[in-house]
């Protein structure tokens, strides 16, 4: 639980301590009920990026913290849990109305880290030449392997002004949204068509076998540079037919043909499952190859309730053709949570939807996930769109 | 003319050869009038990034080409010029209608490199501890030092649907636009106010002296990381009062107080001149400090013809709060020019307007310049905007 | 036990597995008694640098191996131990005479890793801002804190030809030497004086307080570059009086003045203890400052049995002024152990003696330890020498 | 003359300015004849590494100095030359006896830079895909292409004590030596054999074709890492038979088979010429392959006057198996020249002899050249030695 596989990923122990710390640093100070900080040094160790909350341990060095131990971090979590339970049962109405929005934020924050915990463990295991299986029989993995897919259908939408975004959270857990989804605003969208489902592994394999990774004209310039610098030949956790790793050590994993590593270990490529572990560059190149394009995040959201749309939530995050810019009129949260989203609004691309590893109920039609365009360790795939001329 | 100061900049000789090559590789092959390539190796040496036109010399190594010599490159230019003159005078109507758009593109391309030539020379000279003056008396430098400025005025715009962008170029030089400005399309814009003029060096100095570079809460996360990693304390070519370089060697440059290096060498800071050499991060942090924000590129374009707007063109490129994404319905040029713009549409920020070093007549209301958010060697400043609540 | 703090250090689990593998790969194949390899993948995972024994896991990624688990590695060790016990009890005389030298080599190899295990754990803990104590009460730590030292005495040696080195190991454990100590050979040594004891922390503090780390003329060129690039101000694990880490978290460590971190956690600087955690560059600069020099490895060895010499073994490794070159007539071991020492004979400096953490009986007068000149995570100090004019 | 091809190499203009500065900074201040410094900034710009002589321009940035111009640097040289002529003609005996050693040192220093000027220009040209010829008809190049060689002969030397090194320079130009060659001292050398001539290109090609660059067991560990990291397949300027560069552009260079680039441009490999452009790692691996070894620097020097020895001076620098450590009793020069040699005595390997590009009369039997083991841009080859058992 202690190892960090790359600067962008965090150890399991760190996720546990950091989500505890978030409640300790952001929620509990507002409760005013005599909370005692568990350990003065933990704020330094487990603050992620909140400049206003003080100096912190460098992100790339999170894996060096063999102390505090897992047992100590579990005791920390229990201490924070008990304090939160105390606050929930004791808070008067005035305190509660101030506290509830932060408590909900803390829970939503933890849900985000639950998915990151999965993606980071899978990344760590992907660095091990044994390619061990983490959760071979988890139901979430099964969602990734549906029945064979019919051909995708194009669903057309008429031009017009649409309302995009979400009203600010009001503190109830029913109506939560992050600040980056706000405020709701009007957008004019030209007519377009969008696919009813995600691109599958089988379709993506066609792109590979048609020379997609060798055809510069399909790629954005930065994408082509990434392909060459990193020698990308397939999505992040795919094993080419000549990759010896599948057969390394004594496992029951398949050893021939295209295979895919994931939470479930190494499995034969499932042609009908949604492709994941794509960078934005790969998603955009695939769309180009398919004589289509990625939808903008507005187009994605506008199509959310359209009849016939499938796999919008719960299968794979979907790269859009929208950079992660602030919405018109965007205002960050106030106080400690001010740094939650707004300061990351440059150099990243919006993903919409959610994945099989996103906690139930966490995502919604207006949810804006974001990652740098080269990121490949998320459960990130794509859905196609195209212009109507 | 041979030296390269960083991978993003190019030697003067290379600019001269590359713009010649662009005509040789993109324009002349279509003319069908028996053009003889000057030297077979030049396509390898002076192709910038056109994958479809073959392998090329690595960008960071452009400064290693002490051969061909300047004299040889000048002969190359003369050879190409003569061939172009021959084509212009001899082409029949059918050839001309195909050729004219490419010829115009070649000229516009060269205009872009004329400005890059200036920014790259100034960057090179900025790396020399002597800080030599390049063009101490050029009129373009004088535009940077206007009379003292009045306070900026806010100009308000009503909400509504606006047409943004430019029709595709039709081959005449009167109606040129790059493909990234096309197609024209409808955008809904909420009400906003925009400043009638650019932010000045004096105003930016207030930001510095108020601790702008030490206040993390003003900055985007990547911006704050850049400030700390590069120890930024002011715009790129500003000399702090304790910088010894101004007084190095025997020059007539001022040696005390805040000073600014540029094409004109080292001069005393001119409080009324538009601030330039800013990264996007600095522009965004300044706007934050000023309780305002950067305009989106749509807002900038919608205000272009608004009465009272000043310094839109010809003073400094203006960072917007818009990532460089494709317009709805965007289609790249066909043929060799396909790679001109579209493949760079990720990871960059749009700048609008033009600078004192942009060739006369090159820019327009719909012009989209773009650079990565950390770039500081362009004549890049900002104009403020704000929401109307 | 799984974490790797830098590419040069290894996780505790890896040391345990690697020393087991060394016996499995180098010793057991010669025994011919039907040994069954524990896991085919372990040779890939735990081979350190033996090219002849196949491909291996990259050194900087040893910390990514969360599988096999510690329990699995302990089972591996037990499997190998049992096989070795079987071999020792069953081998006939012919097998034994071939096997014994390898078995002794395997044990000597493991002793080397026992010390590296300590230095690597201490380095890992030094990266933790809590600076936890590993073995606060280990007797080896106590050796580092002797009674106050008298002034060092210079011991003079006459010029002449001396025999340096050790006869090749004969397979008995009484007469072991590594191949790099062989063959014995004649060396002419000019007259010199050598200090009877090691340089202490108190003496080294004088060097610091006299501006040693700010005086370029005392340093080798590469050393001065290292001082500036790494901002060295003291030996690796020293805490300056203004370092806040000693007081971080709730410990009983001293929080004021110069302090030293080590296996024992943070303690007040002990002026009489030998200074350790020095790079060669620092040792050489100190000697320069003290108007002396480091002894050559020949001088060190020639003085080994000289009456009055103290602290030759068991306190700290001692940097010499000898690069790690092969002895005249050097021949590497044959077979799998060929790569043990010889291929590292470039770019490194010889250290003589042994440290408080070297296993009892492991070192000897002819022992040649070696590290790159910038290494500071070993228990490495120095002894002075000087010319006799 | 302005371009720098890598941090280890310097522009031609810089060599010219630096050798002028050396006289200005080290020689002329001692003359006391009213010398006027040419430009105060040049000491900053053209000091190489003399800490005692003040701050200086960073070495990797020497190629950014497009100012001062070549004409200005030539005027600088003329200014210094005239001052030196004045000093030589006017100095009284007392001044002269102090000045002469420095003047000789300045001249010897300039001779060293004359060779570096050649190696640096050739390196720069080697980075140009046109591989232009610098001095196609220079006689020094011709020395590299002698008549076909007979088989090498082994010359045996008896064991014993030998005197190595050179007395300190006495200020006359007849008896000059650098401080690193001093003092003369006794060394005991075991019996050995040394080859009467250098290894040829033809012999080295045998090593390549026998798989030398694919056989890890021949290499030192750092050498093997360098081979793989840099994908070395031959000496630095060799063109493999499938290298397209020889045929690039319109030249008269051969385009087939193994070819060698050098001051003379691209030529067919001359099997009888001494191999050069080797790193120490390659020289050591070749010797290993040839069942021999490199001589120590002592062995090389002891064999200098041995009858039958050839190609000791004037063909190629010869890597030895000696790290560049100080001689017993070594004392650096005093004053400004203190930093000339001593501070580089770590991490480098001694080369003996001299090359076809070393100025006539510069080298001698005791001369110690030194470079890091991976350096390949010098005219560096090897001579074999072997033990006598």
Q: Do D262 and D144 contact (CB within 8 A), yes or no?
A: yes
Query: What pLDDT score was predicted for residue D290?
Result: 98
**CB distance A52–B219 less than 8 Å?**
no
Tell me the β-bridge partners of B379.
none
Does B328 contact A at CB distance below 8 Å?
A: yes
The H helix count followed by the E strand count for chain B is 9, 12
User: How many CB pairs below 8 A link C and D?
Assistant: 94
Following DSSP, what letter does each residue of C36-88 receive, concatenated?
A: --S-TTHHHHH--S-GGG-----GGGGGG---S-HHHHHHHHHHHHHHHHHHH
Interface test with C, best of A1, A43, A57, A67 (most C CBs within 10 A): A67
Please give the mean pLDDT across all residues of chain A: 93
How large a percentage of chain A has pLDDT more than 90?
A: 86
Secondary-structure percent of chain C, ordered helix, strand, coil, rounded to 5: 40, 15, 45
Interface test with A, best of C64, C65, C69, C377 (most A CBs within 10 A): C64
Does D125 contact B at CB distance below 8 Å?
A: yes
- Name the residue among C346, C269, C274 with its Cα closest to residue C316: C274
| Rounded mean pLDDT, A70-97 | 95
- Of D325, D347, D349, nearest to C222 by CB-CB distance is D347
Q: Do chains A and D touch (3 or more CB pairs under 8 A)?
A: no
pLDDT reading at D310 higher than 80:
yes
Cα D42 versus chain centre, distance: 26
Query: What pLDDT score was predicted for residue D17?
Result: 98
| Rounded mean pLDDT, D314-337 | 94
Query: DSSP 3-state assignment of B201?
Result: helix
**CB distance C64–A5 less than 8 Å?**
yes
How large a percentage of chain C has pLDDT more than 70?
A: 96
Residues 6+ apart with CB under 8 A from B123: B5, B6, B9, B377
**CB distance D249–B129 less than 8 Å?**
no
What tokens does C202 get? 């108190």
- pLDDT-based confidence at C287, cuts 50/70/90? very high
Q: Chains contacting A with at least 3 CB pairs below 8 Å?
A: B, C
How large a percentage of chain A has pLDDT more than 70?
A: 96
Q: Which of residues 59-98 of D touch C (CB under 8 A)?
A: none
Query: What pLDDT score was predicted for residue C143?
Result: 54
Report the chain D residue with the minimal C-alpha distance to residue C328: D190
CA–CA separation, A178 and C297 (whole Å): 67
Query: What pLDDT score was predicted for residue B310?
Result: 96
Pairing, β B349-354 against β B259-262: unpaired
Does B186 contact A at CB distance below 8 Å?
A: yes
**CB distance D39–B250 less than 8 Å?**
yes
Query: DSSP 3-state assignment of C133?
Result: coil
- pLDDT-based confidence at A205, cuts 50/70/90? very high
Per-residue pLDDT of chain B (389 residues; tens, 9 = 90+): 999 999 999 999 999 999 999 999 999 998 877 899 999 999 999 999 999 999 999 999 999 999 999 999 999 999 999 999 999 999 999 999 989 999 999 999 999 999 999 999 999 999 999 999 998 777 655 455 455 567 899 999 999 999 999 998 887 778 899 999 999 999 999 999 999 999 999 999 999 999 999 999 999 999 999 999 999 999 999 999 999 887 765 567 888 899 999 999 999 999 999 999 999 999 999 999 999 999 999 999 999 999 999 999 999 999 999 999 999 999 988 887 889 999 999 999 999 999 999 999 999 999 999 999 999 999 999 999 999 97
Q: Chain D residues with CB inside 8 Å of B132's CB? A: 67
**CB distance B190–A185 less than 8 Å?**
yes
Distance from the Cα of D216 to chain C's closest Cα (Å) equals 7
| Rounded mean pLDDT, D241-247 | 84
Tokens 């002296």, located at residue: B209
Following DSSP, what letter does each residue of A151-165 receive, concatenated?
A: PP-EEEE--EEEEES
Following DSSP, what letter does each residue of B305-366 receive, concatenated?
A: TSTT---SSSBEEEEEEEE--PPTT--PPSGGGGGSSGGG-SS-EEEEEEBTTSPTT---TT
- Quote the strand ranges of chain A, DSSP E: 154-157, 160-164, 185-189, 192-195, 238-239, 259-262, 265-268, 316-323, 349-354, 369-371, 380-381, 385-387
Instruction: Indicate the range of A198-212, C108-122, D143-157 predicted with least confidence.
Output: D143-157
What tokens does A267 get? 């499995």
Report the chain D residue with the minimal C-alpha distance to residue B251: D41
Q: Do B338 and A217 contact (CB within 8 A), yes or no?
A: yes
Query: What pLDDT score was predicted for residue A141?
Result: 56
Q: Which residue has the higher pLDDT, D387 or C337?
A: D387
- pLDDT-based confidence at D145, cuts 50/70/90? very low
Cα D137 versus chain centre, distance: 22
CA–CA separation, A241 and A256 (whole Å): 6
- pLDDT-based confidence at C282, cuts 50/70/90? very high
**CB distance A249–C125 less than 8 Å?**
no
| Rounded mean pLDDT, A316-322 | 98
CA–CA separation, D114 and D19 (whole Å): 10
- Of C2, C40, C45, nearest to A3 by CB-CB distance is C2
Report the chain B residue with the minimal C-alpha distance to residue D39: B249
pLDDT reading at C230 higher than 70:
yes
pLDDT reading at A232 higher than 60:
yes
Query: What pLDDT score was predicted for residue B287?
Result: 98
Query: What pLDDT score was predicted for residue B145?
Result: 47
- pLDDT-based confidence at C145, cuts 50/70/90? very low
pLDDT digits (tens, 9 = 90+) for D67-125: 999 999 999 999 999 999 999 999 999 999 989 999 999 999 999 999 999 999 999 99
Q: Chain A residues with CB inside 8 Å of B187's CB? A: 188
**CB distance C347–D345 less than 8 Å?**
no
pLDDT reading at C83 higher than 70:
yes
**CB distance D64–B3 less than 8 Å?**
yes
Q: Which residue has the higher pLDDT, C247 or C318?
A: C318
Report the chain A residue with the minimal C-alpha distance to residue B296: A328
**CB distance A323–B323 less than 8 Å?**
yes
Following DSSP, what letter does each residue of A126-185 receive, concatenated?
A: HTSTT---S-TT-HHHHHTS-SPPPPP-EEEE--EEEEES-PPP-SSGGG---GGG-S-E
Interface test with B, best of D42, D64, D126, D134 (most B CBs within 10 A): D64
Please give the mean pLDDT across all residues of chain D: 93
- Of D3, D41, D248, nearest to B130 by CB-CB distance is D41
pLDDT digits (tens, 9 = 90+) for A118-169: 999 999 999 999 999 998 776 655 455 455 567 899 999 999 999 999 998 8
CA–CA separation, B354 and B316 (whole Å): 6
ipTM for this prediction = 0.95
- Name the residue among A118, A84, A113, A105 with its Cα closest to residue A17: A113
pLDDT reading at C34 higher than 90:
no
pLDDT reading at A245 higher than 90:
no
Q: Chain D residues with CB inside 8 Å of B129's CB? A: 41, 44-45, 57
- pLDDT-based confidence at C30, cuts 50/70/90? confident
- pLDDT-based confidence at A341, cuts 50/70/90? very high
Q: Do B356 and B378 contact (CB within 8 A), yes or no?
A: no
Residue D168 φ then ψ, to 5°: -55, 150
Query: What pLDDT score was predicted for residue D251?
Result: 63
**CB distance B64–D127 less than 8 Å?**
yes
Instruction: Find out whether the peptide bond into D5 is cis, omega within 30 degrees of 0.
Output: no
The H or E element spanning position D300 is helix D297-302
C-alpha to C-alpha distances, D376 to D9, D103, D316, nearest whole angstrom: 12, 31, 12
Q: Chain B residues with CB inside 8 Å of D45's CB? A: 129-130
Report the chain B residue with the minimal C-alpha distance to residue D245: B41
Distance from the Cα of B248 to chain A's closest Cα (Å) equals 39
- Name the residue among B50, B30, B22 with its Cα closest to residue B113: B22
CB atoms within 10 A of CB C240: 11
| Rounded mean pLDDT, D332-348 | 91
Instruction: Indicate the range of A129-143, A185-199, D114-128, D345-359 predicted with least confidence.
Output: A129-143
pLDDT digits (tens, 9 = 90+) for B3-42: 999 999 999 999 999 999 999 999 999 887 789 999 999 9
**CB distance A222–B347 less than 8 Å?**
yes
Following DSSP, what letter does each residue of A19-54 receive, concatenated?
A: HHHHIIIIIGGGT-S-PPPS-TTHHHHH--S-GGG-
**CB distance D373–C325 less than 8 Å?**
no
């Amino acid at each position: 639980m202690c190892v960090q596989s790359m600067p962008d990923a965090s150890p399991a122990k760190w996720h546990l301590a950091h989500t505890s710390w978030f409640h300790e640093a952001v929620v509990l100070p507002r409760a005013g009920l005599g909370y005692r900080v568990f350990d003065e040094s933990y704020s330094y160790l487990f603050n992620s990026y909140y400049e206003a909350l003080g100096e912190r341990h460098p992100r790339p060095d999170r894996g060096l913290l063999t102390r505090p131990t897992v047992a100590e971090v579990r005791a920390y979590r229990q201490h924070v849990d008990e304090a939160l339970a105390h606050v929930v049962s004791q808070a008067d109405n005035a305190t509660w109305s101030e506290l509830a929005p932060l408590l909900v934020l803390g829970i939503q924050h933890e849900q985000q880290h639950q998915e990151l915990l999965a993606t980071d463990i899978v990344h760590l295991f992907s660095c091990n030449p044994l390619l061990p299986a983490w959760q071979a029989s988890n139901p979430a993995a099964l969602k990734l392997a549906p029945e064979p897919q019919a051909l995708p259908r194009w669903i057309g939408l008429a031009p017009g002004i649409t309302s995009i975004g979400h009203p600010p959270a009001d503190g109830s857990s029913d109506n939560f949204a992050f600040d980056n989804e706000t405020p709701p605003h009007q957008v004019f969208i030209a007519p377009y068509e969008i696919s009813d489902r995600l691109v599958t592994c089988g379709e993506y394999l066609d792109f590979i076998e048609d020379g997609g990774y060798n055809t510069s004209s399909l790629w954005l310039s930065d994408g082509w540079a990434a392909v060459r610098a990193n020698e990308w030949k397939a999505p992040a956790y795919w094993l080419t037919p000549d990759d010896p790793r599948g057969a390394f050590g004594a496992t029951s994993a398949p050893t021939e043909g295209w295979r895919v590593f994931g939470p479930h270990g190494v499995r034969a490529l499932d042609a009908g499952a949604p492709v994941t572990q794509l960078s934005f560059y790969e998603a955009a190149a695939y769309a180009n190859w398919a004589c289509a394009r990625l939808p903008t995040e507005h187009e994605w959201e506008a199509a959310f309730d359209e009849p016939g749309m499938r796999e919008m939530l719960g299968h794979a995050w979907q790269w859009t053709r929208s950079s992660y810019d602030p919405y018109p009129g965007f205002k960050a949260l106030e106080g400690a949570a001010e740094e939650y989203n707004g300061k990351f609004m440059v150099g990243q691309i919006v993903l919409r939807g959610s994945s099989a590893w996103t906690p139930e109920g966490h995502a919604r039609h207006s949810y804006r996930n974001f990652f740098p365009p080269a990121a490949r360790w998320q459960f990130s795939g794509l859905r196609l769109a195209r212009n109507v001329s």
